[in-house]
Amino acid sequence: KKFLNFSDFDTTYISPNRYNYALMLDHFTNYEYYSVGNDDQRLRFSPNPHNKIGAYFGWRWIFLGWAVDTDWLYGKKSKKKRGTEFDLSLYSSKLGVDIFYRSTGNDYKIHKVSGFSDEIPSNYSEDFNGLKVKMKGLNLYYIFNNRRFSYPAAFSQSTNQRCNAGSFIAGFSVSTHNLNFDYTKLPEIIQETMNPGMKVKHIKYTNISLNAGYAYNWVFARNCLACLSFNPAVAYKTSRIEKTEEREADDWYKNFNIDFILRAGVVYNNSKYFVGTSFLGRTYDYYRDNFSLNNGFGTLQIYAGFNFYLKKEHRKKK
């Protein structure tokens, strides 16, 4: 029964949310990269940072919302396809769940090239619309010192941290990644010396990981909180690499690697109104003797909102 009591915490360290609902405006910037390598050659792709604005509605542990690109706010017009992102987060004092879906557009750039022609400069940058990526997954984590440490206080504003506290955190994550790669759209100067092992057209892999780390909440002023969390993850990867028509068979790879999860946040929350910023970064790495695939993404958020509709137990009796 104690395990199922998600609101059992020490009120000296954590004060509960007195409201049922919340509304929040959120501006966030997405950073992302994908890197494909074979032997001594490596190509790194990344889109320009995506700026989006969204509105979110919260009910106790649940925050659900939708965000759109903000290029039109700045008068920017582009024929490039924009990406799509969906996130559903559920938080409690003990458990947290993140469900996410990301679909990229066609606005990638080649940012780093190594192992190809010496004629390619070190600061080489070129548009590339031959990469399409879809990713979906689920993160589940457990907070051990949940009576004194509040993860939601830093990242979902559903409680308030009153005193400094830290906690060990353990989690489980599963995600699927689909990358369509049309190498024929690469510049000729790259294709001329491209290793045949890098000529793939479809990369699909599943990532299953167990992670453990530590998080700390620092209350540096009244109603002000800073949080830092770092979780290395041992990940099992199974990958299907579909070769080009010139290659006879697809390759399957299975291996263990180390991934990383980083969270950081600063928030002001007086229980009624809140404003803050947070960053979530995650890397996925896969290595074999003759092939490697690395990708990572980060999200920087700036948000402001308010809670409303007092819970019954906090309403003044007439």
> Pick the residue with more confidence: 77 or 148?
148
How far is it, in rounded angstroms, from Cα 257 to Cα 173? 14
Per-residue confidence at 148, pLDDT binned at 50, 70, 90?
Answer: very high
Q: Would you say residue 318 has pLDDT above 60?
A: no
Longest CA–CA separation in the chain, Å: 81
What torsion, rounded to 10 degrees, do the Cα atoms 288, 232, 34, 115 define?
-50
Average pLDDT, integer, range 142-152? 91
How far is it, in rounded angstroms, from Cα 194 to Cα 21? 55
Average pLDDT, integer, range 275-280? 93
Nearest partner of 160 among 29, 14, 305, judged by Cα: 14
**Mean pLDDT (the chain, rounded):** 81
Report DSSP letters for 58-126, one per residue: EETTEEEEEEEE-GGGGT----SPPPEEEEEEEE-SSEEEEEEEEE--S-EEEEEEESS-TTS-TT--E
Tell me which of 72-76, 126-130, 177-181 is least confident: 72-76
pLDDT in tens, 2-20: 444 455 778 899 988 888 8
Q: Would you say residue 117 has pLDDT above 60?
A: yes
> What was the pLDDT predicted at 203?
79
How far is it, in rounded angstroms, from Cα 134 to Cα 205? 11
Average pLDDT, integer, range 202-228? 91
Q: Would you say residue 228 has pLDDT above 80?
A: yes
> Pick the residue with more confidence: 9 or 276?
276
> What was the pLDDT predicted at 72?
61
SS3 category, 205: strand
Q: Would you say residue 22 has pLDDT above 80?
A: yes
pLDDT in tens, 65-88: 777 777 666 555 555 565 676 766
pLDDT > 90 fraction of the chain, expressed in percent and rounded: 19
> What was the pLDDT predicted at 81?
60
Q: Would you say residue 289 has pLDDT above 70?
A: no
How far is it, in rounded angstroms, from Cα 282 to Cα 161? 25
Find out whether 169 and 231 touch, Cβ atoms under 8 Å: yes
Find out whether 259 and 293 touch, Cβ atoms under 8 Å: no
Tokens for 1, please give them.
């029964």
How far is it, in rounded angstroms, from Cα 255 to Cα 244? 23
How far is it, in rounded angstroms, from Cα 67 to Cα 53? 5
> What was the pLDDT predicted at 1?
39
Per-residue confidence at 244, pLDDT binned at 50, 70, 90?
Answer: low
Find out whether 152 and 158 touch, Cβ atoms under 8 Å: yes
Find out whether 118 and 81 touch, Cβ atoms under 8 Å: no
> What was the pLDDT predicted at 218?
97
> Pick the residue with more confidence: 222 or 112?
222
User: What contacts 318, CB < 8 A, 6 or more positions away?
Assistant: none
Q: Would you say residue 204 has pLDDT above 90?
A: no
Angle among Cα 82, 86, 87 to the nearest 5 degrees reads: 145
> Pick the residue with more confidence: 300 or 316?
300
Average pLDDT, integer, range 22-46? 85
| Strands 50-59, 19-38: pairing kind | antiparallel
SS3 category, 73: helix
Average pLDDT, integer, range 115-125? 78
